[in-house]
Structure 1
Amino acid sequence: MRTVLFDMFGVVAMDQSPSVRETMVDHSGHASSDFWSAYWAPRQDYDRGDLDGPAYWRAVGERLGSPFAPEQVERLIALDLESWSRVDEDSVALVRSLSDAGVPLGLLSNIPTELAARFEERHRRVLDLFPVLGLSCRIGHAKPEADAFHWCLERLGTSPEEVLFVDDNTANVAAARELGLHGHVFTSVPELRRVLKEGGLTAG
């Protein structure tokens, strides 16, 4: 292995804020289980860029059987962005150490257009650590689709067996392994450091 391809959320950035998740459910006026089932159902299309924010929330409302009013949609978009907007500074430090050591890096993230713009505004220092940025809304492919990985491999200029893919989602890691990449299910920075060391990749 000589290259590392990172996932964003749950690895470099944090998962959704629990407190903001609760606020989203309260604002929706629906039971939590119903809301999250409807939230995730069209998410792949949103991440891929097939839907914009208003269209995505219309789809969520339709699944719930009660469309959201325009002011609700505006508020839900804002809350959704806020819920995903935190980075993990320990992970960022690890990525920076790999970058400083000259390890080729890429990022492959399922991320909708509005959230990509938020990260470019708030966390450009993080995105700039990755010479290859595979943002699903920009490349038209989302994990675990094979084309998302192929897009990154082509721009990294490397073969699958030379890449370690790091993601907290087991389905995405399994998809990467099927394509010949090495895969690591992320659980913690110390564990990832151990895997990198075993693979001969230096991280200070």
Structure 2
Amino acid sequence: MIDAIIFDFGNVFINLDANAPLEALKKLGVTDWNEELDYLNKSYETGKIDELTFMQGIQKQLPQAELVEIREAWNSILLDFPLYRLEFLQMLTSKYKLYLLSNTDATHIEKFEHKVGQSFAREFYSCFEKVYFSFEFGFRKPEAKAFQFVLNNHNLTPKKTLFIDDKLENIKAAEELGIQTWHLQVGQEDVVDLFQKNIL
């Protein structure tokens, strides 16, 4: 019997174009997504560096690009957040304890809140017992620590907890801790299909 649900954010609630940032950065002069950029990204996502350090790190590989152009390219990953998903989430709040667990950074969250508006963002956040953004609490999925942090903080029982994510490596990590999972197939499934999955 599931009594708590941990949701991923990107491609579960807000739609993403994962290829857009790299394509936009390529137009600014990046040739490929290299180890240095990957390290910068993970450092920023876990709050080890601030936005300016991150953007300047990318700029070192793009000396002709302005920081504002780099920021715009980085935010191109964010698409729309359909209202029906928020309404579905609001319906779930009376039945389950809900949590958000997302690998993200301050730049993307600021852009998300600006894009949907403060009122929409507040309504979204208020659906959760707690929102965990990797840049705020320092762990990234699929690190076991990320899941354990949420479980421990709220005394959640893994077998009574459902985790929903679109990335298989995150799903596997959760399953190793005994958490129930739904590997959401982007483009084929939607989070509002939850009750059709027979996993609650």
Q: What TM-score does the superposition give when structure 1 sets the normalisation length?
A: 0.79
Compute the displacement of 1:178 (Å).
0.7
Structure 2 SS opposite 1:134:
strand
In the TM superposition, what whole-angstrom CA distance separates every residue of 1:38-58 from its partner, at most 9, and x where no partner exists?
644432211111122232234
- Residues 113 and 139 of structure 1: CA distance in aligned 2, closer, same or farther (over 3 Å): same
Residue identity opposite 1:15 in structure 2: L
* Aligned counterpart in structure 2 of residue 84 of structure 1, from 78, 84, 109: 78
Q: Deviations over 1:162-188 (max 9, x none)?
A: 111000000011111111111111121
Distance, in Å, in 1 between the alignment partners of 2:22 and 2:82 is 18
C-alpha distance in 1 between matches for 2:10 and 2:173: 17
Deviations 1:90-114 (A, max 9, x none): 4333222211x32110000011122
Counterpart of 1:30 in structure 2 is: 30
User: 1:63-82, aligned counterparts within 5 Å?
Assistant: 66-68=61-63, 72-82=66-76
The AA in structure 2 aligned to 1:173 is: I
Unaligned runs of 5+ in 2: none
Is the counterpart of residue 147 in structure 1 residue 145 in structure 2? yes
Residue identity in the other structure for 1:118: K
Distance 1:85 1:140, change over 3 A: farther
Paired residue type of 1:136: S
The structure carrying a bigger helix percent of its residues is 1
Does the 8 A contact of 2:78 with 2:112 survive in 1?
Answer: no
Q: Is 1:13 the equivalent of 2:14?
A: yes
Q: Is the 8 A contact 1:3 1:104 kept in 2?
A: yes
Q: Which moved more, 1:45-54 or 1:11-20?
A: 11-20
RMSD: 2.6
Equivalent position SS for 2:14: coil
Output the CA distance in 2 between the equivalents of 1:105 and 1:3. 6
Letter in 1 for 2:99: G
CA contact (8 A) 2:75 2:111 kept: yes
Selected match of 2:169 from 163, 168, 171: 171
Identity %: 21
Aligned to 2:199: 199
SS at match of 2:153: helix
Deviates further, 165-174 or 16-25? 16-25
Q: How many residues align?
A: 190
